[in-house]
Structure 1
Amino acid sequence: MKPQAKPAAEAKPLAEDALHPLLLTQADLGSGYVHVQEDSSSGKFDDVSVQGCPSLEQLGQSGEVKMFAAKAETSFTYDRDATLGEELHSDRPSVLSSKLRKLFGAYTSCPTYTMTAGTTPIEVKVTKSATPDLGDEQFAYTSTMELPSGAQVLKTMAVRKGNVAVMLVGAPALVDRHMKTAVGKLPATG
């Protein structure tokens, strides 16, 4: 009888400074995109709460601000009113997989919920979305928020490739158009 082969060791997370060169750039996206500088310390989500979706409420209460070992992010506007945000996360593949499943599972567990930003209640409708056949795992949903200025539709899609996951959030057409490019910038997995 042959000895059993040991399972391959899981890839370690990349450091944050190794993620930055993998982010999309204006050159990757083409004309019409403007890079947006964001102040990450502004606490822009401090006064946002969720009602009517227990799994999302629980996710918010668990305070998983730092879900993964490393994170890098960037965002762009297109044609002045459309946005595209990108987050890269790195961790061991099993951790990325289980936490992305939990995150996307929570967001797609309730077809509707209410999000309160400050004192303004916003009705949100969520539907699961199709994903392209990229990377090792894919997750996507589309949310429609009923804002005082009208409905805003955002698509959130994540693709995990080994120990890195790319997440795009923004106008559905922009997310669909640029996901393949974003995944193409990730390192090859061995």
Structure 2
Amino acid sequence: MRLHTTTVPSLSTLFFLALAGCSNGSSGAADSISSAPVRQEGKYAPVPAPLSSAVLDKRLLDESDLGEGYTRKPQQTGGHDDVTVSGCPALVKLGGDAVIGDSFAFPRKAKASFTYAGGTDSEVAEELYSGTEENLSKGVGRIFEVMTSCPRYQVLVGATPITVTTRKLPAPKLGEERWSQLLTFTVGGRSSVVKQTAVRTGTVVVVVSGSVALVDAHVAKAVDKAHGAG
């Protein structure tokens, strides 16, 4: 699998890389999805339409939600590193399916990343995605299944080799569907651990990634705000 990412830190959330590949080249058709009637308990009920990127952006956590000590990181816009994955055939296939336009593509999205002054390498990132319930459920479920199917694999970002190990975790009881995993990235003998939790409610998926403590502290708050409860 060979994808492009704007920053090496986004490798710490390989889910984002997979979604980036899934979204490329398909935003035009998917962005025009509208609600349609569906039969429910003998009646026709409207299916909620996916939210726009602009609406999602307003539902991201900000410094006031997170509390003291958090600083939002500026979005990286320039420079692309080639990313090559080896040692995980299922993940390679997932990337290939994304390139040829597989069924899951989430062009409606928003993201924010924050550093926390309370510790070294303490960061937390949130991404919101919106689409049909079926596409979100199948797409996100497949990505997490694939990523945790290979307990160890290699990633080459530019000229930097990275060893990735993954482990499936119990997910918090939030939303209608949820997934969670722990990823360890080893570069030059130094390792960092990233927890990643995704929660789907209706037509929105919330993905929170970062240090274990920060993800645990903020994922419920992120889910609430994403659905207008925050």
Same-fold status (TM-score > 0.5): yes
2:164 to 124, 146, 154: 124
Among 49, 58, 69, the alignment partner of 1:32 is: 69
Letter in 2 for 1:153: V
* Structure 2: distance between partners of 1:179 and 1:134: 9
Match of 1:22 in 2: 59
- Provide the secondary structure at the position in 1 that maps to 2:197: strand
Q: 1:112 aligns to what?
A: 152
Identify which of 11, 16, 39 aligns with 2:48: 11
- Equivalent positions of 1:132-171 (< 5 A) are 132-148=172-188, 150-171=190-211
Q: Deviations over 1:59-115 (max 9, x none)?
A: 223336x82140001100112521111100001111111110111111111010001
Residues 163-183 of structure 1 show CA distances to partners (whole Å, capped at 9, x for unaligned) of 111001111111111001001
> In proportion to residue count, which structure has more helix?
2
Distance, in Å, in 2 between the alignment partners of 1:18 and 1:97 is 21
Task: Say if 2:167 and 2:182, in contact at 8 Å, map to a contact too.
Answer: yes
| Counterparts of 2:214 and 2:105, CA distance in 1 | 25
- TM-score, length basis structure 1: 0.89
Runs of 5+ consecutive residues of structure 1 not aligned to the other structure: none
Q: 1:50 aligns with which of 80, 85, 95?
A: 85
Q: Deviations over 1:5-57 (max 9, x none)?
A: 14534221101111111100001101111100112x4354x411110101111
User: What is the letter of the counterpart of residue 111 of structure 1?
Assistant: P
Residues in 1 aligned to 2:105 and 2:209: alpha-carbon distance in whole angstroms: 17
* Matching residue's letter, 1:16: S
Contact 2:128 2:205 in 1 (8 A): yes
Coordinate RMSD, CA, aligned: 2.1
SS in 2 for 1:47: strand
Count of residues in correspondence between the two structures: 184
Q: Is the 8 A contact 1:161 1:186 kept in 2?
A: no
Taking the aligned partners of 1:86 and 1:151, their CA distance within structure 2 comes to: 22
Paired residue secondary structure (1:89): strand
SS in 1 for 2:184: strand
Runs of 4+ in 1 over 4 A off after TM superposition: none
**2:59, 2:228 within 8 Å by CA — same for their partners in 1?**
no
> Quick one: which amino acid aligns to residue 73 of structure 2?
V
- Equivalent-residue separation in structure 2 for 1:188 and 1:35 (angstroms): 21
Deviation at 1:147, TM superposition (A): 1.4
Name the TM-score, length of structure 2 as normaliser: 0.74
What's the % identity of the aligned pairs? 39
Separation in 1, partners of 2:189, 2:70: 23
> In 1, distance between residues paired with 2:182 and 2:84?
19
Q: Give SS of 1:11's match.
A: coil
Provide the residue aligned with 1:86 in structure 2: 126
